[in-house]
Chain A
Amino acid sequence: MLFAIDPVPAINLLAARDQMAFTLGFHIILACLGVALPTFLLIANWRAIRSDDADALRLARRWTRIIAVTFAVGAVSGTILSFEMGLLWPGLMGRFGAAYGIPFAIEGIFFFLEAIFIAIYIYGWDRLSPWAHLLSGVPIVIAGFGGTFSVVSANAWLNQPAGFTLDAAGNVTAVNVVGVIFNNATWYEAAHMFLAAYMVSGFLLASVYALGRLRGRLDRYTRLGFVIPFAVAAIATPLQIGVGDIAARAVFTDQPIKFAAMELVQKTGPDTPVVIGGVLVDGKVVGGLVIPSLDSLLAGFNTNTVVQGLDAVPIDQQPPVNVVHLAWDTMLTMGFSLLALAAWFGLAWLRRRDLPTSRWFYRFATVAGVAAVVALEAGWVVTEVGRQPWVVYGLLRTSDAVSRAPGIVISFVVLLGIYIVLGAATFIVLRSMSRQGAAEARAADTPYGPSQ
Chain B
Amino acid sequence: MTSADVVALVLWLGVSTYAVFGGADFGAGLWDLLAGPTDQGEQPRGLIDASIGPVWEANHTWLIFDVVILWSAFPLAFSSLMSTLYIPLTLAAFGIILRGAGFAFRKYTSKLAGRRAFGATFALSSVITPFFLGSALGGIASGRVPAGNAAGDPWTSWLNPTSVLVGSLAVAAGAYLAAVFLVAAARRRDEPSLEAYFRRRALAMGIVAGGLAVGGLGVIGADAPDLAAGLAGRALPLVGLSVVLGSASLVLLARGATRGIRAVAAGAVTAIVWGWGLAQYPSILPGSLSITAAAAPAGTLDALLVISIAAALTIGPSLALLFVLDGRSRLEAGH
Contact = CB atoms under 8 A, between A and B. Distances in A.
B331 A120 contact: yes
A347 interface: no
A425 B325 CA distance: 31
B314 interface: yes
A112 B110 contact: no
B100 A175 contact: no
B57 A109 contact: no
A109 B79 contact: no
Interface in B108-142: 108-110, 118
| Max chain A C-beta neighbours (<10 A), residue from B97, B307, B326 | B97
A104 interface: yes
B108 A69 contact: yes
Contact of B150 (A85, A108, A405): A405
Interface string B70-88: 0111011011111110110
Given A94-B80, A123-B53, A109 B307 contact: yes
B244 interface: no
Interface in B291-335: 296-300, 302-304, 307, 310-311, 314-315, 318-319, 321-322, 325-326, 329-335
A60 to B, nearest CB: 11
A128 B335 CA distance: 13
Chain B binding surface, main DSSP class: helix
B2 to A, nearest CB: 15
A158 to B, nearest CB: 15
B31 interface: no
A329 to B, nearest CB: 34
A177 B296 CA distance: 12
B305 to A, nearest CB: 11
A376 B54 CA distance: 31
Given A108-B61, A115-B58, A403-B149, A90 B297 contact: no
A116 B318 contact: yes
Interface string A133-166: 0000001000000000000000000000000100
Contacts of A71: 57
Interface string A114-126: 0111111011111
| Max chain B C-beta neighbours (<10 A), residue from A96, A105, A432 | A105
A447 B149 CA distance: 59
Nearest to A91: B149
Contacts of A420: none
A177 B304 CA distance: 10
B71 A120 contact: no
A173 B296 CA distance: 8
Contacts of B302: 177
| Max chain A C-beta neighbours (<10 A), residue from B75, B98, B335 | B75
B180 interface: no
B104 interface: yes
Nearest to B103: A72
Contact of A124 (B83, B105, B310, B331): B331
A83 B304 CA distance: 20
A105 to B, nearest CB: 5
Contact of B61 (A115, A122, A127): A115
A101 B72 contact: yes
B236 interface: no
B297 A173 contact: yes
B330 A432 contact: no
B230 interface: no
Given A101-B68, A113-B314, A86 B299 contact: no
Contact of A111 (B64, B92, B150): B64
Given A73-B100, A116-B58, A109 B314 contact: yes
Contacts of B229: none
Contacts of B99: 76
A68 interface: yes
A102 B108 CA distance: 36
Interface stretch (A189-197, A312-320, A410-418): A410-418
Contacts of A415: 94
A112 B311 contact: yes
B82 A87 contact: yes
A107 interface: yes
B300 A73 contact: no
Contacts of A433: 108
B297 A172 contact: yes
Interface in A164-216: 164, 172-177
A112 B68 contact: no
Contacts of A172: 296-297
Given A83-B89, A113-B314, A177-B300, A107 B68 contact: yes
A86 B307 contact: no
A107 B310 CA distance: 12
B227 interface: no
B69 interface: yes
A416 to B, nearest CB: 12
Contacts of A84: 93
Interface string A6-27: 0000000000000000000000
B200 interface: no
Contacts of B72: 97-98, 101-102, 104-105
Contact of A116 (B87, B319, B330): B319
Contacts of A85: 71, 82
A104 B90 CA distance: 20
| Max chain B C-beta neighbours (<10 A), residue from A3, A404, A429 | A429
Contacts of A429: 105, 108-109
A175 B296 contact: yes
Given A111-B64, A116-B318, A119-B57, A106 B307 contact: yes
Closest 3 CB pairs of A and B: A86-B82, A97-B75, A101-B72
Interface of B: 53-55, 57-58, 60-61, 63-65, 67-69, 71-73, 75-76, 78-84, 86-87, 89-90, 92-94, 96-101, 103-105, 107-110, 118, 147-151, 154, 296-300, 302-304, 307, 310-311, 314-315, 318-319, 321-322, 325-326, 329-335
11 contacts: A72-B103, A79-B97, A87-B82, A102-B307, A106-B307, A107-B68, A109-B310, A117-B318, A119-B331, A123-B333, A405-B83
Given A75-B57, A76-B99, 10 more contacts: A79-B63, A90-B82, A94-B78, A97-B79, A97-B296, A123-B333, A124-B325, A124-B330, A128-B325, A403-B83
